[in-house]
Amino acid sequence: MLRYTLRRLLWMIPIVLGVAILVFTLMTFCPGDPAQILLSGSATDEDIQALRDNLGLNDPYLVRLGNFLGNTFLKFDLGSSWMTKVAIKDEIATRLPRTFTLGIISLLISVAVGIPLGIIAAVNQGRLGDNIATALALIGASIPGFWLALLLILLFSVKLNWLPSMGIGGVKYYILPALTGCTYGIATLTRQTRSSMLDVIRSDYITTARSKGVSELHVITRHALKNALIPIITVVGTHFGMMLGGQMITETIFSIPGMGSYIIGGVNQRDYPVVQIGSIFLAIVFSLSMLVVDLLYAAADPRIKARYSQSAKRKVKTK
Question: Is residue 317 involved in binding other proteins (CB under 8 A)?
Answer: yes
Does position 198 interact with other proteins (CB under 8 A)? The reply is no
Q: Which of 94, 131, 207, 310 binds other proteins (CB under 8 A)?
A: 207
Examine residue 208 and tell whether it contacts other proteins (CB under 8 A).
yes
Interface with other proteins: number of residues (CB under 8 A): 28
Residue 302 contacts other proteins per CB under 8 A:
yes
Contacting residue, 99, 180, 193, 227, with other proteins by CB under 8 A: 227
Dihedral sign, Cα of residue 36, residue 39, residue 43, residue 47: negative
Using CB under 8 A, pick the residue from 14, 31, 41, 213 that binds other proteins. 213
Checking 295-300 for CB contacts under 8 A at 24+ apart, the result is: 295/1, 295/5, 296/233, 296/237, 297/230, 297/233, 298/1, 298/4, 300/226, 300/229, 300/230, 300/233
Beta bridge partners of 80: 87
- Of 53, 155, 303, 312, the one binding other proteins by CB under 8 A: 303
126 binds other proteins (CB under 8 A): yes
Residues in the chain: 319
Stretch that binds other proteins, among 2-10, 42-50, 149-157, 213-221 (CB under 8 A): 213-221
Please identify which residue in 142, 161, 311, 318 interacts with other proteins, judged by CB under 8 A.
318
- Pick from 139, 210, 255, 310 the residue near other proteins by CB under 8 A: 210
DSSP string, 93-154: HHHHHHHHHHHHHHHHHHHHHHHHHHHHHHHTTTSHHHHHHHHHHHHHHHS-HHHHHHHHII
From candidates 15, 214, 249, 292, binder to other proteins by CB under 8 A:
214
Candidates 35-43, 48-56, 265-273, 299-307 — which segment interacts with other proteins by CB under 8 A? 299-307
Write the binding mask 73 to 112 for other proteins: x where contact by CB under 8 A, - elsewhere: ----------------------------------------
Asked whether position 128 contacts other proteins by CB under 8 A, the answer is: no
Residue nearer to other proteins on the CB measure, 267 or 306: 306
- Would the CA dihedral through 139, 141, 145, 149 be positive or negative? positive
Instruction: Return the ∠ at Cα 125 (arms to 121 and 130), rounded to 5°.
Output: 40
Site for other proteins (CB under 8 A): which residue of 9, 63, 135, 316?
A: 316
Query: Among 75, 85, 159, 212, which residue interacts with other proteins (rule: CB under 8 A)?
Result: 212
Annotate 268-318 with three-state secondary structure.
HCCCHHHHHHHHHHHHHHHHHHHHHHHHHHHHHCHHHHHHHCCCCCCCCCC
> 241 with 164: CB under 8 angstroms?
no
Q: Which residues contact residue 237 at a Cβ distance below 8 angstroms, ignoring those fewer than 6 apart?
A: 289, 290, 292, 293, 296
Nearest by Cα to 117 from 132, 128, 139? 132
Q: Is 3 in the site for other proteins (CB under 8 A)?
A: no
Determine the interface stretch with other proteins among 16-24, 148-156, 221-229, 243-251 (rule: CB under 8 A).
Answer: 221-229
d(CA 128, CA 114): 17
CB of 24 to other proteins, least distance (A): 44
- The residue (of 89 and 222) whose beta carbon lies closer to other proteins is 222
Cβ–Cβ under 8 Å, residues 33 and 48: yes
Which of 146, 226, 268, 310 forms a contact with other proteins (CB under 8 A)? 226
Binding site residues, other proteins, CB under 8 A:
125-126, 202-205, 207-216, 223, 226-227, 300-303, 306, 316-319
